[in-house]
Amino acid sequence: MSRFNDFNNPQVTALPAHLKQFIVDQNYAHYTPVDHAVWRYVMRQNYSYLKDVAYYPYIPGLQKAGLTIEKIPDLKEMNNALAKIGWGAVTVDGFIPPAAFMEYQAYRVLVIAADIRQLKHIEYTPAPDIIHESAGHAPIIADKDYHEYLSYFGSIGAKAMFSAQDFELYETIRALSILKEMPDADEAEIKKAEELVAFRQDNMGEPSEMALLSRLHWWTVEYGLIGNLDEPKIYGAGLLSSIGESASCMTKQVNKLPYTIDAVKYSYDITKTQPQLFVTPNFQNLIDVLEQFAATMSFRRGGEYGLQKAIDSKNTCTAVYSSGLQVSGTFTALATDKEGNVSFLKTNGPTALSAGNKQLKGHGKSYHKDGFSSPVGRLKNFEKPLEDFTLNDLKTAGIETGKNTMLQFESGVTVTGKVKAVHAENNRVQLITFTGCTAKDEAGNILFDPAWGVYDMAVGEKITSVFCGAADKDAFLEIAYKSVTGTHHPEYDEHTLQLHKLYQQVRNRRHMGQNFGYLGNVWLMLQKIHHDDWLCALEILELLDHEGVERTLAAEIRRFLEHKAATEPEYKKLITDGLYLIKHPVEQKLVV
């Protein structure tokens, strides 16, 4: 990770180390004049169209998020603005894993891809870019009900169980999005990558909690509509940042469905436009649906259900005892009593014990490097759970430091040995450490042998919660899964650098408001060396038309653009929309 800059934003400063690893420098100077022109074109089109179809806070939200139409946002300016509404922003390298993305939301930090789409992908890109992340997500953040939903979603998503298949799909989608943004990508390679994405989407097995949550996230945060089914407004960032789909999504060809918990049944393809969208009547409904789904998740259900999900996940997970003790590791086995209550759990490999998401001293994964196992449940013949024992209760049960004892659990598990230490927090017993300890199940199978060393027995009547990831992620030194595939950063040849200079000269004329006659030279160079360009030509025409100068030159450029739109279908909408904005300019008060 490059040197971390928190921009003096409290939300960014509060990020834990395992999330900071994804942050990259924005490198603002790397944006080219063409990049700024792409930003400006998309933002002007967005404003022109979205002022009528976006949910109300979008336009004033641009300003509240520190965004302007004229230039790509600077992260420092964005953080200064977002801090006023309790949010922050950081730049990352393309797609990051869903679990990390969710956790950023929980910390109220927007994750913004540092790169910007190429001119040839100006309408839509499958790769996350600064247009999508900032122009899509940031403006709506100003709405309090919405940003409460977003951060709450993040806190729930950060605990969702994910699978190996989730990571495989994430990697293939990331690889495809990077490939599609490469200037000279091989079509055969793209087709092969698309087929791999389709194959993995079709062979996910039973969707994990993260996969299902990702669907809810997609149909709300990314592609959500709000209002009534007949005339909904856009609030989803994927639509707000796509000048193509923001228009097409409003047609009758795209089915509009009421947003309910049933949205989890609808998978999505990130590389294609959506065949249906979901409409919520208000943002409170989003929270209500999220609560419905959260009630089914392992972190709420705990018990055998949650532990089995953890075992199936094969990832680092955390089981929480009713005493508050948290066991973080890779779970491999569990046992239940006759009533189906968890009576025993086991991890393999590095494991850590925590309480209140803080690792217990001396109980990190280097100490429990070979795994951890412990009974769960109540002791026989006692009216209250062991975690609620007072000092007198412990003495009555024979649990005293330096003395031998035998504990019999209702499940049939027995633990015998010399008590070395008793750990309690908040008047709750959480851990009893034994030497010379033997643990057996009801059938007499050995669960722990004295030869294995010191035995740390977790205390708790039940497992109240199970969630993905370590309780104390930074102490666990949990490096969240990070892709080894980097995004493509172009190296420009001399021909392209010349084009950048022409775009910059047009930009200079716009900012200085003089020497418009010089634009004729820029047009000549475009015609001579870069005759395929349309956006720079459009920007020249915009300036000439608005200033009422060089009318002959303006007419020549207009004829060129109209001919290109008529003969090259891929440019028709882009040029037609651009010409429309020359006649119907964006209000200047929102431009700078």
Residue 46 sits in a domain whose CATH number is 1.10.800.10
CA–CA distance, 241 with 124 (Å, rounded to integer): 8
Rounded to the nearest 10 degrees, what angle do helices 164-181 and 187-202 cross at? 160
- Does one domain contain both 221 and 328? no
**Measured between alpha carbons, how far is 427 from 412 in angstroms, rounded to an integer?**
27
User: At which of 243, 260, 291 does a domain end?
Assistant: 291
Range from 249-253, 457-461, 526-530 carrying the lowest mean pLDDT: 249-253
C-alpha triplet 90, 93, 99: angle, nearest 5° = 75
156 occurs within a structural domain: yes
Asked if 586 and 59 touch (Cβ cutoff 8 Å), the reply is no
Domain match, 445 and 507 both: no
**528 inside domain:** yes
Stretch (H or E) spanning 380? none
Which pLDDT score is estimated for 126?
66
Domain boundary among 291, 317, 352: 291
Residue 251 and residue 386 share a domain: no
| 132 labelled binding-site residue | yes
Residue 504 belongs to a domain: yes
381 φ/ψ sector (left φ>0, alpha ψ -120 to 50, else beta) = left
pLDDT, position 305:
97
- For residue 3, being part of any structural domain is answered with no
CA dihedral for 504, 506, 512, 514, sign (positive or negative) = positive
d(CA 325, CA 57): 44
482 part of a folded domain = no
Domain count, the chain: 3
> Residue 444's Cα: distance from chain center in Å?
47
Q: Model's pTM, two decimal places?
A: 0.84
Please check whether residues 324 and 287 belong to one and the same domain.
no
CA distance 560 to 567: 11
pLDDT, position 408: 97
Backbone angles phi, psi at 547, to 5 degrees: -90, -10
Same domain? 302 vs 226: no
Range of the domain at 438: 298-468
CB atoms within 10 A of CB 167: 17
- Domain-ending residue, one of 434, 468, 502: 468
In a domain, 584, yes or no: yes
| Residue 381 shares a structural domain with residue 440 | yes
- Note whether 286 and 306 are same-domain residues: no
The predicted structure's pLDDT at residue 97: 81
pLDDT tens for each residue of 180-199: 767 677 888 888 887 887 78
In this structure, is residue 473 part of a structural domain? Answer: no
Question: Are residues 113 and 168 located together in one domain of the fold?
Answer: yes
In this structure, the answer to whether residues 160 and 177 fall within a common structural domain is yes
Q: Which tens digits make up the pLDDT trace of 418-437?
A: 999 999 999 999 999 999 99
Residue of 240, 238, 283, 233 lying closest to 256 (CA atoms):
233
372 shares a domain with 305: yes
Is 500 assigned a ligand-binding role in the annotation? no
Would the CA dihedral through 27, 32, 37, 42 be positive or negative? negative
222 has binding-site annotation = yes
Q: What is the pLDDT of residue 31?
A: 95
Is residue 329 domain-shared with residue 453, that is, in the same domain? yes
Q: Classify residue 481: in a domain, yes or no.
A: no
**Alpha-helical regions (H) of 243-385:** 245-248, 283-294, 298-301, 303-313
CA proximity to 261, closest of 223, 228, 213: 213
Asked if residue 281 and residue 138 are part of one domain, the reply reads yes
Taking only the tens place, the pLDDT of each residue in 348-377 is 999 999 999 999 999 999 999 999 999 999
